[in-house]
Each structure stands twice: as structure tokens, then as C-alpha cells.
A and B are shown apart, each in its own frame.
Chain A
Amino acid sequence: MRVLRDLLRSNREFAIGIALLAVVVMMAALSAFSPYPPNDSYLVPPDVPPSWAYPLGTTSRGQDVFWLLTFAIRNSLLFGVLVAAISRCLSLLIGLTAGYLGGIVDRVLMSFNDTFIVIPLFPILVLFYFVMRDRMSWIGLALVMAGLGWAYDARLIRSVALGLRAREFTETAIFSGMTVRQILLQEHLPYVLPIVFSTTMNNINWSIGLEVTLSVLGFTDINTPTIGVMIYWANQHTALVAGIWWWIAFPVALVVITFVGLFLLAVSMNEYIDPRSRLGRFGA
């Protein structure tokens, strides 16, 4: 807690990042109070520009942009967090095991890992969509992206684990008869958690970004409102040509706020974790 307070006070990136994310999370939380269900249309007069009655205007499908946006950002955020959580578990499991066990296990896991690093993700995700079509749900996409997004960080964690393996406390742990699972969970996990924490932010960013890209092109489940799906429907109704700019501008603005907020958090976390860049702040 004290760390958080110090960061807030002394690190401007951290403070701005937290503030931006607070806005985003509040928007998402407001979805619980929405007067309209997210998937119904023609509830309000269509194409009304931002006004007192409809603060962010309404869509051509007769939806209130503000309330629709709360659902969209909630789903997008949950999506990012879900992908990050699952892929973190995978990269921790694989990185720690490969680094600690070494030898043939390491080689097999890392060749697997490197395959995931080099394969192009976007065509694969599009392919998944064409194979699964309507069965491709929001959760399904999250699982697929988590399955594709762990590789870089697994390698990072492995490199740390390689160093930990040679430390005396690991030797002592082995000597005292701790099992591999105990050594990894009790002795090594605390070491890599800060790294995981920082990469989580980047991973959320990455997955939301990719989801938006896929949705805008219509390669996802377009019946669950997310930021990307909102933009997709706006495009379907040629919102920009028709002058309904608020249908596209607000979701884009909100997702940019999310990105910037998460990015600033990741940067300031990095700085907090790496003592050398912390020194750099003092102008050494």
C-alpha cells in the first residue's frame, strides 16, 4: 500500500495512468445501471447528436451511445483481463518449468514457445473465425488469444528462472528435499511476479487492440457489444458518411484512453521494478 502511495506521489506517469484507468473502469461499472439492455435496438430516437438528454448522442440503430459504450468497454476490458490472466498462467507455468528443469524439457518447451513467437497471429485468428463461424463466442476468442499470447513472456520468465536455478537458495532448497513444485511456487514465483505484473498491462493492451481490429473487420461475434463491435456497426451504417461521428469518435476515444492508461502503468511499473531506471530519474 505504501508503495502505491509513494508511486502516486512521486511518479507522474503512474498518477496519470491510474486516473485514466479509473475513468475507464467507472464507465465499465456504470453498465450495471444501464436503463437499456445492451442488445436491443430502436429504444431511443436514432441519430440524435450529443445533447443533454443523450450525452454522447444516439446511434442509427436507436441506441444510446453512452449506455452502449458502458457495455462495450466492460466487455473489452473483461476480454483483455481474461486473456492476460490465462496467458500469464501459461507463461508462468512454461517459463518457470523450462528454466528450472532445463535440459530436454527446456528444449521441447522452448521450441514450442519459439513456434508461437514466429507464427503470424492475425491470419490465424481470421482463420479461426472462418472455421468456427457462429460458434466463435467472446469466450472462445479469449481462449484462442490467450493460447497465442503467452510465448514472449514465457521466454522472459524462463530467462529469469535460469538465473534463479544457479542461486544458492535453490541448491539449499533441493538439498532440504523440497519438491520441484514447492521450489517453483515458494522460492521462484515471488521473483518473477513483478515482471508478470508489468507484462500483464502490455498483454491487456495487446489483446484489446487485436480484438478491436478483428471486430472492426467483422471477424468476431458481432452480437456481443465491445468497442470493436460498436465501430463495426457504425461502419455498417456508414456512420461517418452520414455524419453520425459520435458513434465512432467516443468508442475510439475511450479505447485510446484505456491504451494510454495501461501503457503509462506498465512504464511506471517497469521503472519501479528496475532499480537502474529508478536511478535515472534522479538524473544520474
Chain B
Amino acid sequence: MNVLTVSGLRAWYVTRAFGIEREVRAVDDVSLAVARGEIYGLAGESSCGKSTLIKTIAGAVRPPLTVIGGSATFEFGDRRIDMHSADPADVLAIRWRHLAYIMQGSMSVLNPLRRVRHTFIDFAQRHIGKPELEFLAIVRAHMQRLRLDPAILEAYPHELSGGMRQRVTIALATICRPDFIIADEPTTALDVVVQKEVLGLIRDIQREMGSSLLFVTHDLAVHANLCDRLGVMYAGRLVEEGPTADLLRAPRHPYTAHLVASLPRIGDTTPRASLSGAPPNLADPPSGCRFHPRCPLAMDICRSETPAMRGTDRRVACFAA
């Protein structure tokens, strides 16, 4: 059963200044589904729309970001909630309790002028709805489970190391034992040792709680280690999707193929070929397939028509595949 169903989602940054309207099509026609207990990875280079996509999925949409069409629907038990058409009160009610969001740059999720304890109270107490002392007892128990010293509740964020802050953020997001966790590059700023710890922590929580996880990073190595299924984005569109091992072993979209080919391997010293050009300006994306200006396999049809995602288990959006 799918916990999250995204269909045909379009989210654009629409700005209007001096009478000129600009649309940046950061997320264009994305459909995907995440099953219960599944870890779904979202890969792609910077500025391909990963963060915008999950912001939109989490319903954290603020102007100039605008949802143009499509839907993102969560199903928690018998509750079905479309994040963009449901009553805001219903959306608020599922957030944090059922849907956790570990934000990008989550080092700064903690207000530097508030003790960690206050941040927990500010953000999470109302979702648990217990009096302060009882709530703090729950927080302490939760932190111990995550092998964090409850004493740091009294600390200010700047007194913690980066890895600790990251783990506090994860503790903060998962305090309500959510059914669905969205994590936006939670390990990007950490060195590999701490990264491994944090990833292990996230996976442990996910296993223990049986929640689903939507994990975003541009680091394919992390994806390979963590994710059950992988979706690759390019220029605001999902271009390929499939079980992680399958997709990495035999990529079918030329973009994914290049991405995988660029990965370094231990012992292999041959230079990696890089793809010429840069991701397109999403305010004025190329016609047809957005990858065609950089694609070695580009055909005439790629310039005029947009390829749709085809397939069921392994999906790919390419005329050449």
C-alpha cells in the first residue's frame, strides 16, 4: 500500500516584478509513489528541483513557490490527505505527528538563541499534547534510544558539534514516531564517519518505527547504501526510477548512465568523462526532452516532444531507452 502518492505535480516559482512575470519551472509533471516501510531515494544534481519537490510534498509552500497542478496525497491509516487541497487544519494535524520533515541545512533548524529543550517544547510539544514535565521525560527517553546524552537538552546549539546537532535535529523530527519521514540532504555537511553514524541512525529509526522514508541527496553512494528504490531527477522532471541496485547497475536513461559512469571506483584510475554543458535555466527550459541539448543520443523527436515516464516497476522517460 502506498503511503504517499504524487501525481502530475507541478510547482513553479512565479515572480512578478515591474510588470514582468517570470516562471521557474522547478518541478514539472512529477509522479511517484512511496510504499509503507520503503526508503525512496531522490537523486539529481544541484538545481534539478529535488528540494522544491519535497517542499511541495511536505506542503511547505510559500510564495513565490506556487503549486500549478497535480497532487501529493498521503494516506495514514484511513486518513487521506491531499496536501494542497485539504483543509489547512487537517494538514497541520498530520505534520510532525505522522509526517516528519528533516530540512536541508538542518544544522540551523535549531534556533541559536534557544536552548535545545526550548526548541523541543516550541516545535513538538503541541503535537504530543502532554504537560511539560511529562513531555520532557518522553524527549529524554527518545534521545537515549538514539544514543544521545539527554544532558544536551540544556545546551545551546553552538555548544554542540555538527554531528550532534544533526542527530538532535533527527531526534526532534522523529519524537512523535512519524509514519513518513522526509529527509532533505541530512548528511551533506558532515564528514564520512559522522555521515555513516547519522545514516545508521536514520535507518534504525525507520526500521524500528516501520515508517517510510523519502531521502534526498545528490550523493549516489549514500543512495546505494540506504535506499530501496531510487528516482533520478533532471531539470525539474523525474527521468528514471527503479530499484536501487537495478538502476545503478543498468541505467536506461542517458543522464542516469552518465551519472553512474562518473562515480569513482576503488582501484580504477581511468579519467571519468564529464558531460558537456550545464543544467538548463528552468525559467526557459529547452523544448521537448529537457536533456536533449546535452544528450549524446538526441534524435529529432527529442527536440519537439516531451517523453513520458514508461514502464511499471522500472520507469524511464526517454525515447531512446
Q: Which of A103, A167, A168, A178 contacts B122 (CB 8 A)?
A: A178
B95-A167 in contact (CB<8A) = no
Q: Which of B63, B96, B119, B126 contacts A175 (CB 8 A)?
A: B96
Q: How far is the CB of A190 from chain B (nearest CB, A)?
A: 4
How far is B114's CA from A168's CA once the two chains are assembled, in angstroms?
14
Q: Which of B63, B113, B118, B124 contacts A191 (CB 8 A)?
A: B113
B60-A177 in contact (CB<8A) = no
Q: How far is the CB of B11 from chain A (nearest CB, A)?
A: 16
Q: How far is the CB of A184 from chain B (nearest CB, A)?
A: 12
Residue of A nearest to B119 (CB): A169
For A176, what are the chain B residues with a Cβ–Cβ distance below 8 Å? Answer: 95-96, 122-124, 126-127
Contacts A168-B106, A190-B113 given: A174-B60 contact, CB under 8 Å? yes
Instruction: Say if the beta carbon of A173 comes within 8 Å of chain B.
Output: yes
For B296, what are the chain A residues with a Cβ–Cβ distance below 8 Å? Answer: none
Looking at B62, B106, B109, the one whose CB has the most chain A CB atoms below 10 A away is B109
Q: How far is the CB of B12 from chain A (nearest CB, A)?
A: 18
Which residues of A from 160 to 188 have beta carbons under 8 Å from B? 167-169, 171-178, 182, 186-187
Q: How far is the CB of B87 from chain A (nearest CB, A)?
A: 13
B63-A103 in contact (CB<8A) = yes
Q: Which of B62, B96, B103 contacts A168 (CB 8 A)?
A: B103
How far is B256's CA from A178's CA once the two chains are assembled, in angstroms?
40
Contacts A176-B95, A177-B96 given: A171-B123 contact, CB under 8 Å? no
How far is B157's CA from A167's CA once the two chains are assembled, in angstroms?
15
B60-A169 in contact (CB<8A) = no
Q: How far is the CB of B206 from chain A (nearest CB, A)?
A: 20
How far is B113's CA from A103's CA once the two chains are assembled, in angstroms?
27
Which residues of B from 102 to 147 have beta carbons under 8 Å from A? 103-111, 113-114, 118-119, 122-124, 126-127
0 or 1 for each of B256-275: is its CB under 8 Å from A? (1 = yes)? 00000000000000000000
Q: Which of A169, A171, A175, A191 contacts B95 (CB 8 A)?
A: A175
Contacts A175-B58, A176-B95 given: A168-B124 contact, CB under 8 Å? no
Which residues of B from 35 to 88 have beta carbons under 8 Å from A? 58, 60, 62-63
For B95, what are the chain A residues with a Cβ–Cβ distance below 8 Å? Answer: 175-177
B126-A177 in contact (CB<8A) = yes
Q: How far is the CB of A10 from chain B (nearest CB, A)?
A: 22
Instruction: Say if the beta carbon of B101 comes within 8 Å of chain A.
Output: yes
Q: How far is the CB of B288 from chain A (nearest CB, A)?
A: 35
Contacts A103-B63, A167-B108 given: A172-B113 contact, CB under 8 Å? no
How far is B118's CA from A190's CA once the two chains are assembled, in angstroms?
13
How far is B63's CA from A32's CA once the two chains are assembled, in angstroms?
58
B110-A169 in contact (CB<8A) = yes
Instruction: Say if the beta carbon of B283 comes within 8 Å of chain A.
Output: no
A168-B104 in contact (CB<8A) = yes
Closest 7 CB pairs of A and B: A176-B123, A190-B113, A177-B92, A169-B111, A168-B108, A168-B109, A172-B109
Q: Give 14 CB contacts A-B under 8 Å.
A: A168-B106, A168-B109, A169-B111, A173-B123, A175-B95, A176-B95, A176-B96, A176-B122, A176-B126, A177-B126, A177-B127, A178-B122, A187-B111, A190-B111
Interface residues, chain A, CB within 8 Å of chain B? 103, 167-169, 171-178, 182, 186-187, 190-191
